[in-house]
Amino acid sequence: MKSMDSLLIRAAFKLPVERTPIWIMRQAGRYLPEYLAVREKAGSFLDLCMNPDLAAEVSIQPLDLMEVDAVIMFSDILTPLIGMGVDLDFNPGPDIKNPVQSVRDIEKLLIPDPSESTAYVGKILRLIRKAVAGRAPVIGFAGAPFTLACYLLENSNLKPFTKLTTLFFDDPDTAHLLMRKLTRMTIDYLNYQIENGAQMVQIFDTWAGLFNPADFETHIFPYVSEIISSLDKKGEVPVVYYINGSNHLLDSMSRTGADVIGLDWKTDIGEAQRLIGERVSLQGNLNPNILFCRPEVISRKAEEIIRSYHGETGHIFNLGHGIDKSVDPQHLLHLVRTVKQLTTRNG
Ligand code: CP3
């Protein structure tokens, strides 16, 4: 199967599909007992990320167990920072021992060769492609510069973002220096993933909703657009751009060059479609907490989203943010089957 044949890639490019594809952010993770068993075997979370055989195994688990339409490689948005000289750990949230505190710290950050610093990622992607053998497309991903900067500056203690805000508004030149380095790293990293088999890539900008539209345009948009326009295989490997809390930024997001905009659950997908649906496909956007509800409720809430989106292609079903670690896997399976059933078109 060529990736263009898959529902996911066709929906991303608004080509005809027989039904709406579905995958789930954080689909490889702690809600699955099978994931926990492999993680136990690997040791720490980072050990698992850097063990290509085991990371490929947990990436593929949701395809077999949850019947989703895509495999996202198992990793984290922060792991490529290690190659820049960042001392990173997870407990289980990110823990950076040497956060960026000065211009000197930014100058010291390295621009790594991804085939050296993240060779394990290339290997994971190749292993997944081989094992999946065309049954589903493989998604790669990276954190966007702004969201990486959030973690780099304030560690896992993210609130109240005082350091980040003062850097961007008191000292925009220094912020620019940091964003430039993170942009350069991310371009090389995503192109390395594409070279090694990623058939779609998602850029996670979880925290970019912190800024208002004007500040987003000045401080975030140029870097994200540069990343997207610098990717190899544009028009063949679709790009998804995701922000959590993005209702006020949809118009800007749709002009970054991304093929697909990932919506959080607070946005009405029908309204988003009226606003930006001509330009881009949409991904999302069930409230992740709905997966704790009864199966009938899950079906009803999924149906509301499916009915709000008009048109026969251009929608990729997903949650509005990652799946919670306490969700019953049977509830996710119910969602996946419901979406497939509700969106299958006859003939
Ligand atoms: O989607 C997938 O299944 C692929 C794997 C994936 C992980 N993290 C695995 C992970 C992806 C795509 C991510 C992205 C990520 N990581 C984001 C962007 C998306 C978002 O959630 O907003 C962010 C902000 C991070 C940073 C990060 N990594 C946090 C905040 C945490 C702690 C979260 C928690 O649930 O405790 C992590 C750790 C992490 N990344 C885990 C997993 C499965 C849990 C660690 C474990 O298994 O012990």
22, 51, 76, best to mutate for ligand 1 pocket (most atoms within 8 Å of CB)? 76
327-332-333-335 Cα dihedral, nearest 10 degrees? 150
Query: Which residue's CA lies nearest to atom 44 of ligand 1?
Result: 92
Tell me: the pLDDT tens digits for 144-179?
999 999 999 986 556 678 888 999 999 999 999 999
pLDDT above 50 (res 298): yes
Share of the chain above pLDDT 90, in %: 93
* Region 3-343: CATH code: 3.20.20.210
26 pocket-lining for ligand 1 (C-beta < 6 Å): yes
Q: Which residue shows structure tokens 């140029």?
A: 222
83 pocket-lining for ligand 1 (C-beta < 6 Å): no
Q: How confident is the model at residue 311 (pLDDT cuts 50, 70, 90)?
A: very high
Tell me: the pLDDT tens digits for 88-113?
999 888 999 999 999 999 999 999 99
Q: Report the pLDDT value the prediction gives residue 157, as an integer from 0 to 100.
A: 58
Ligand 1 atom closest to the Cα of residue 93 is 32
13 pocket-lining for ligand 1 (C-beta < 6 Å): no
Q: Report the pLDDT value the prediction gives residue 345, as an integer from 0 to 100.
A: 84
Looking at every residue in the chain, the average pLDDT score rounds to: 96
Q: What's the gap in Å between 94 CA and the centre of ligand 1?
A: 9
Q: What's the gap in Å between 50 CA and the centre of ligand 1?
A: 15
Share of the chain above pLDDT 70, in %: 97
pLDDT above 50 (res 347): no
Q: How confident is the model at residue 2 (pLDDT cuts 50, 70, 90)?
A: low
pLDDT above 70 (res 314): yes
Tell me: the pLDDT tens digits for 114-127?
999 999 999 999 99
Tell me: the pLDDT tens digits for 204-256?
999 999 999 999 999 999 999 999 999 999 999 999 999 999 999 999 999 99
Q: What's the gap in Å between 273 CA and the centre of ligand 1?
A: 28
Q: What's the gap in Å between 81 CA and the centre of ligand 1?
A: 14
44, 45, 71, 77, best to mutate for ligand 1 pocket (most atoms within 8 Å of CB)? 77
Query: Which residue's CA lies nearest to atom 22 of ligand 1?
Result: 206
CA 33 to chain CA mean position, Å: 22
pLDDT above 50 (res 273): yes
Q: Report the pLDDT value the prediction gives residue 61, as an integer from 0 to 100.
A: 98
Q: Report the pLDDT value the prediction gives residue 6, as an integer from 0 to 100.
A: 97
Crossing angle of helices 295-308 and 329-343, rounded to 10°: 40
Tell me: the pLDDT tens digits for 258-272?
999 999 999 999 999
